[in-house]
Chain A
């Protein structure tokens, strides 16, 4: 299964590079993956074998439409069309890792309760690079469940400075 995920990720990566839209496509696919992970209804619809494939692809095109690069829409639609919707987040994560490796970077998935502007993302990336000793590519996710602060995952390392984490620690202590 890992080999197949790698193969699909490599294929998507090659298409994005060929279309000269890797940065944007990578960013958009990352958001698509996090959206699917955070939305049970969307995930179950896209993975429901009973719903016809073209109907599921239609849902993808309706959701992304003009808001995403046409390559992003096409790639997601392709994955849904070949019946790999369930592996879509894993394939996208592989693609993001591969893109980061191409830039000699590692991916840092950063979750915050509010959207980050470019300045914050840049400084966050520098701080994480300093902390991990690797060049970091920040992938930001807005997750209100963290309440406040930041949690960053770089590979297997998690640096959690969220209010949710503090509250959980407090709950465990009590």
Chain B
């Protein structure tokens, strides 16, 4: 105070009218930060001058932990990274180990994986849509999002026994075939869901308040987005066509016809549109996979004790948040020597400073929502 008063002169009016930079902590207990994320924001009035991300509140040392477990015991641990998209995490890890082992996953298992992956992506995007809309002020969207996510979780429960942290895939394939009556229920859901997505778009896409809150907010150019290694809808919102499912097809994604929705401006609205349109594509992929489901084995030839050859592998999948990569190193033993997770949330969060600088404090919330971060994956 004393330093300010010397600068601003002595008159009380001057003291009232002066402006100065304010440092504001958002989080780690802020409801709109989607977890224990803390943003240290420097404000000039309502303008964001600088934003520093402070993370690590949820660091559990999972990469260390798996070094003390066998290769097979590590699969459930990685479900805990992105706990609303657990199947995709599991897929990335088992895919990496299969790559190092040289195991060929049977076609049927690959198709089942595609179905479950895309259902998980739908569940993730529905929850994201609800919470993101809630952050921006559209409360009813949350109820719809949760309502539609519920039957998907029920499908997981019916097939895998769990709703959220399913431990879906063992190394080498899948555990179960679809149970009796599962596929018709799934198909019915897929028939209903596009109408629901239309409803959401009707609620939000043309909504004036929504457009005002999101268009031109949190802009990041394609060049910056690539330089910052962003991925997933966050990158595609800026118009960069990079989707691991197309660029490096894994698990038979090459067999299916689907499009990659792209944005143009790289703002919150485009990222929102990308995700919503991705939901339609996911539905399309699941239908194709169910139609073309091949017959065959559920699991490739994997010995009970898994000892990958000495060496390293890097395997990436398109998780709900973006490119999820696993870098695994084996010393030929039963336990991983090193597992590193390139988590999309962690890397995407780097872009938040570029997106928020110069914007309003209220838009920080919209930007965090549009990044679709899960702090379990950011901090690992």
Instruction: Tell whether A and B belong to one assembly.
Output: no
